[in-house]
Structure 1
Amino acid sequence: MSRFDVIVVGGGPAGSTAAREMAAAGARVLVVDRAEFPRYKACGGGIPLRTEKLLPFPIDSVVEDSVSLLQVSYQGRSRFVRDSGQPFAHMVMRERFDQLLLEQAKKAGAEFRPGTVVREVSLDGGVTVRAEGFEAAADYLVCADGAHSPVGKLAGLGEGIAECAAWEVEVRAPAVRRLAYRNTALIELGYRPWGYAWLFPKREVLSIGIVLPPDQAGDMKDHVRAYIDSLGLGSAEVEIARGHKIRFRRGGERIANERALLAGDSAGLADEFTEEGISYAVESGRLAARNVLRSLGGGSLASYQADVDREIMPELRAARQIGFMFYGMLRRAPRPWMFASSKFPYLWDAFFAVQRGESTYAREAARVPLLPGIAQRMLDRE
């Protein structure tokens, strides 16, 4: 049986980031993933510019487009465009982006075993993972196996984390239509009680999708088809259509014990305003690496949860407050709220600053002292 310092399950942004930083520090790291890489990943592929600042290597080679224009509409009406003046997000295809991050982990010394479905985890005095025809042992386990996180469940972590549903398609539109959306992200509001549809431009396709509460998952395909039709793309070829979950950690849900921890989507580290999680996946991967390296030699990983609570959760709480107020106002007074959003620049200027890493949700929320109280009163009325 092979022996490592740490086994990372999942080769996405959280797992690859953790593996790279641990391997670069001299740890013996094994990354296992159920898929063969590169692999398609259902995701809008919009990466806030702040994500790039968390990585010590360039990602230019996998950037499909960089957007500085945001077009917002409500049920096809009240459309307006905000110009950030400079890019606030990169657009990537996740198979290429994730492959880049994994290659960096391998260059740092991490071993990679694809096509491996972990079926059993033992945390008795160490870590043992078992798959069909495979067994490996380590001191610690990083579960970065996505929003479903079957390995996290085997490790006894992640219970009670909230979730929503998303459906995404890759549309191969004519070149002239793709060019019309260059440098522009589209957001369509008006779904109840909250949620939005999006169009993100890529080189060869348009990524189009929707995110909604889980009890509306059955309506997502129809909503996306209607949105595609409203854009005049009904005759374009849909290459891939796939659903996925997004998880939201809201409180003290357990994401670490002595031997194992959850990172990225497994831990529910996505914000409830934009539903974005890639930047938090990278950040949590760094925190995971820091805690594993600190614990090598006999320490516990339980401190990882405290680090996440201190360094990531304030952002997620602030994003939830902002999101609840935004969607709540939109639901109660859609036309006045859309008018106000289009005429007063503060909201979108603050949004762009957060996406570029020039500000934070927590900092922007603190500029509106009444926001937590307003959001809580709205929540109490739901």
Structure 2
Amino acid sequence: MVGVIKQYDVIVAGGGPAGLTAAREISKTGLKTLLIEKGIIGSAPRSWITWYDGLKKEGYADTAVNRIDTLTFSSFLGGKYDLKKSDSVIVNTKKMLLKMKKEALNSGVEVKEKEVYLSCRQKSGSVGIKTSKASYSGRYCVDATGWNSKKQRKLSGNMARNDHMGCYAVEMKLKESIKDTSKALIFDAAFPGKDYFWFLPYNKHDVLIGCFSFEKLDNKSGKRMKDSLNKYIKFLGVSGKRTNIISGNIPLMERKHFSSERIFFCGDSVSSPLPSSGFGLLRAMQEAKLLAKCINEGFETGKIEYEKHVIAVRYPGYELHYLAADILKNMNDAIFNKTVSQMKINSPMFIRSFLIGNDLSLKFAARALNAIFKTFTLQEIASMAIKRDYKEFLLRAARDYPKIEPKKIISTFSKLFMELNRTGLKE
């Protein structure tokens, strides 16, 4: 019947891991749930690297295509760090997403593909959703549309060029097989300049080789990254047929809006900037489960305390990762070389936890801060234009976790801001 707007309890926009997880968990309790996806779930060529134990715990161990023992960080200036016994795996994205879609359908989720989510308007007691094909109404909306979420951008503001990490990668079928598929290059500064590279083996013949830079991927930067990637492939001495191109952007700015009245954000639409989507896969799924739990528990009363719960758990880690993003996006060759060389002062478990983002506690954040100050001088940090004032974060750390020597850290930050002022940079 023309003009009839279908009613749902919850409408989820976005058919990635976060959206599918949230929709499945919400629908399990009997809430009428709709999931909208702009494309075909599992069709986009894309691969993730994550941790096997977490993947197994979530029930997706069968989607792993290759186990990686050693992750290597390397600089052309000589710095190198091997994270051994990493327990990381390459994930078959298509297989994983199709399995998640099946689980969502089995739990009662109505899935609509090839339907673009256009807007969400909040009304009294409901939200109105407009797509490229229809209009819907729901009590609540979950925005899992990813880093380019229109609503999140409206709330958080537009991002500058260096508030992005642009990525350009190719999947290749190699002419000659790889001898050891248990080793991967994860952060390789092979040449002077702003581009970094990775090399991930799926098996002996199929690999993913990529280039990333701390600036927005657009036509201009994309051409440079493509040229850099070709140079890197030649540098590696490999050749073969390029079967897929994977490109996109990851946000490196604060996106602290977990909700806006009846709209809730999860996945890359609200994720902390580091780690990137691959290593952050499990974290995104866990936060989607937390959101679903909050919606299920507060649906009838209208008191959904998602923001309260997620901030209580994640706040220190988010602040830590914003600091790390500030450092990374302003890093030069010498600083990166020093970073890689100094990674050995930390335990492998610490590096692993930082990459996966599974420990965002005050205790872990304090350890990371101490590691940062052991690695860099104040002048080096100032040269990377660290302009954000982390005073609130540090004061909270002082109150909630006194063992981290907060006075010493706050004093160090005060000296840092003095150095910033001395060098002409503003806080």
User: Scaled by the length of structure 1, what TM-score is found?
Assistant: 0.82
Q: Deviations over 1:28-58 (max 9, x none)?
A: 111110111331144x511134642662xx2
Bigger mean CA offset, 156-165 vs 322-331: 322-331
Shift of 1:96: 2.1
| In structure 1, C-alpha distance between the alignment counterparts of 2:53 and 2:195, rounded to whole Å | 23
294, 297, 302: which one pairs with 1:299? 302
Judge conservation of contact 2:211–2:229 (CA < 8 Å) in 1.
Answer: yes
Q: Which residue of 2 aligns with 1:222?
A: 227
- Conservation of the 8 A alpha-carbon contact between 1:145 and 1:151: no
Q: What is the SS of the residue equivalent to 1:306?
A: helix
Secondary structure (helix, strand or coil) at the match of 2:242 reads strand
CA displacement 1:66-89 (0-9 Å, x = unmatched): 1111233213x637563533x421
Alignment partner, residue 313 of structure 2: 311
Query: Mapping of 1:361-372 within 5 angstroms?
Result: 363-367=363-367, 370-371=370-371
Asked if the contact 1:67–1:185 (Cα under 8 Å) also holds between the matched residues in 2, the reply is yes
Contact 2:156/2:254 (CA < 8 Å) preserved in 1?
A: no
Residues 1:123 and 2:122 aligned together: yes
1:132-174 Cα deviation digits (max 9, x unpaired)? 3322211000011121124655xx5443564321112111113
The question of whether the paired residues in 1 share the 8 Å contact of 2:275 and 2:354 is answered with: no
Residue number among 4, 10, 24 corresponding to 1:6 in the alignment = 10
> Residue 157 of structure 2 aligns to which amino acid in structure 1?
E
RMSD of aligned Cα (Å): 3.3
Q: Show CA shifts across 1:156-214 (max 9, x none).
A: 5443564321112111113612xx34122213126777663111121462111122122
2:287 to 284, 287, 301: 284
The number of residue pairs the alignment matches comes to 368
What is the rounded CA distance, in whole Å, between the counterparts of 1:275 and 1:379 in structure 2?
Answer: 27
For 1:135 and 1:380, locate their aligned partners in 2 and report how far apart those are by CA, in whole Å.
Answer: 50
Match of 2:173 in 1: 172
Distance 1:160 1:262, change over 3 A: farther
How far apart are the structure 2 equivalents of 1:281 and 1:174?
Answer: 36
TM superposition shift of 1:225: 1.4
Q: Is the 8 A contact 1:66 1:88 kept in 2?
A: yes
Change in CA separation of 1:99 and 1:32 when aligned onto 2, cut-off 3 Å: same
Report the residue type matching 1:311 in the other structure.
V
Residues 181 and 148 (structure 1 numbering): CA distance in 2 closer, same or farther, change over 3 Å? farther
- Cα deviation, 1:206-233, whole Å, max 9, x if unaligned, reads 1111221225734211221111111112
The 1-side partners of 2:50 and 2:240 are apart by 25
Mark the CA change 1:347 to 1:209 in structure 2 (over 3 Å): closer, same or farther.
farther
How far off its partner does 1:111 sit?
1.3
Deviations, residues 104-157 of structure 1 (Å, cap 9, x unaligned):
22222211111111223221121121223322211000011121124655xx54
Query: Residue 357 of structure 1: CA displacement?
Result: 8.4
What are the within-5 Å matches in structure 2 for residues 1-382 of structure 1?
A: 1-42=5-46, 44-49=47-52, 51-52=54-55, 55=58, 58-75=59-76, 78=78, 80=80, 82=82, 84-85=84-85, 87-125=86-124, 126-150=126-150, 152=152, 156-160=154-158, 162-174=163-175, 176-177=177-178, 180-187=179-186, 188-189=188-189, 196-203=196-203, 205-214=206-215, 217-218=221-222, 219-233=224-238, 235-250=239-254, 253-271=256-274, 276-299=279-302, 301=304, 303-322=305-324, 331-332=333-334, 338-341=340-343, 344=344, 346-352=346-352, 363-367=363-367, 370-371=370-371, 377=378, 378-381=380-383, 382=385
Distance 1:365 1:267, change over 3 A: closer
Q: TM-score, normalized by length of structure 2? A: 0.74
Structure 2: state its 5+ residue gaps: 386-427
Distance in 2 (alpha carbons) for counterparts of 1:358 and 1:261: 21
Instruction: State how far apart, in whole Å, the 2-side matches of 1:130 and 1:360 are.
Output: 36
C-alpha distance in structure 2 between counterparts of 1:262 and 1:359, whole Å: 20
Question: Could you say which structure has the greater relative contact order, defined with CA pairs below 8 angstroms and 6 or more residues apart?
Answer: 1
Q: Percent identity at matched positions?
A: 19
CA distance in 1, matches of 2:22, 2:136: 18
SS in structure 2 opposite 1:123?
strand
One-letter code of the match for 2:146? G
User: What SS does the aligned partner of 2:95 have?
Assistant: helix
User: What letter is aligned with 2:105?
Assistant: K
User: Do the aligned partners of 1:10 and 1:33 also contact (CA within 8 Å) in 2?
Assistant: yes
Structure 2 CA distance for partners of 1:26 and 1:249, relative to 1, 3 Å: farther
Q: 2:279·2:355 contact (CA, 8 Å) conserved in 1?
A: no
Relative to structure 1, the CA distance from residue 232 to residue 270 in structure 2 (aligned partners, 3 Å threshold; closer, same or farther) is same
**Are the equivalent residues in 2 in contact too, given 1:129–1:137 (CA < 8 A)?**
yes
Instruction: Give the superposition deviation at 1:298.
Output: 4.8
- Report the CA distance between 1:15 and its aligned residue: 0.3
- Say if 2:27 and 2:109, in contact at 8 Å, map to a contact too: yes
- In structure 2, distance between residues paired with 1:34 and 1:248: 24
